Amino acid sequence: MNGRRRMLVNTPMEVKPYSDSTAKKEQVAVMFDNIAHRYDFLNHFFSAGIDRRWRSKAIAMLEKQHPATVLDIATGTADFALQYVRKNPQVHITGVDISAGMLDIGKRKIAERGWQERIRLMQADGEQLPFGDASFDGYTVGFGVRNFQDLEKGLREMLRVLKPGGMGVILEFSKPTGFPVRQLFGFYFRRIMPLLGRMISKDHRAYTYLPESVDASPSGRAFLDVMTACGYRNVRMKKVSGGIATIYTGIK
């Protein structure tokens, strides 16, 4: 069992956005800087707005814990943070991301709503968070963990900044297995989305990297095994939209 657990945890996520030799996290930052200007449009366009429903389900899971402070890792343009505060104006959210370009757009969106006192954004690496132990009541990650250079390191680091009893909520793409969702989504995800993404974002790799990174990442029960090995308790998962995405939760 211990050998199997280490194998799961140490499975490398070697898919990188570009073919050069720089580290994955550096490439991810460059990629998101490149597509930041079109990210919100493409995100909602490709998902037909379903991504908002997915985030609502994830938020509802964390709401049950009644957190006062929430860390949003890989916050991007702050969609998760904004949606959370819209429903829970009493919550204070800190959002972190490695892409300065994404954060610039997120800060503008927050300022337009006058929510600077509720949401604070800062550039930081999710695998090396600049916060003390037990700093937050809960955390959220929306479509970010597959971009970690070291998944186990990221999961442990996020657990470190949780207060005892705090909950982590991770929303991520997964691999649907049922017919016909698996076949239809596979064709759309691997053929249509990369083509349109290249045309609209002008980054030839960003939307090819997306399905590649999902294929290379653990999902379902394998992801829960990694969370457990990293120290999370009461790990759970909820598939959404036929398994296109999955919400994972765990308690410190």
Cα 200 from Cα 56, distance rounded (Å): 27
Q: What is the pLDDT of residues 179-198, one digit of tens each?
A: 787 888 788 888 888 888 88
Q: Distance between CA 210 and CA 48 in Å, rounded?
A: 17
For the domain with range 2-251, which CATH number is right: 3.40.1370.10, 3.40.640.10, 3.40.50.150, 3.90.1150.10?
Answer: 3.40.50.150
Mean pLDDT, the chain cut into blocks of 10 residues (252 residues total): 41 74 93 93 84 96 97 97 96 98 98 97 98 98 96 98 98 88 83 84 87 92 98 97 95 98
pLDDT of residue 6: 41
| 110-130 pLDDT, tens digit each | 999 999 999 999 999 999 999
Find the DSSP H helices in 64-150: 79-87, 100-113
Asked whether the whole model's pTM tops 0.85, one would answer yes
Name which of 38, 101, 91 is nearest 68 in CA terms: 91
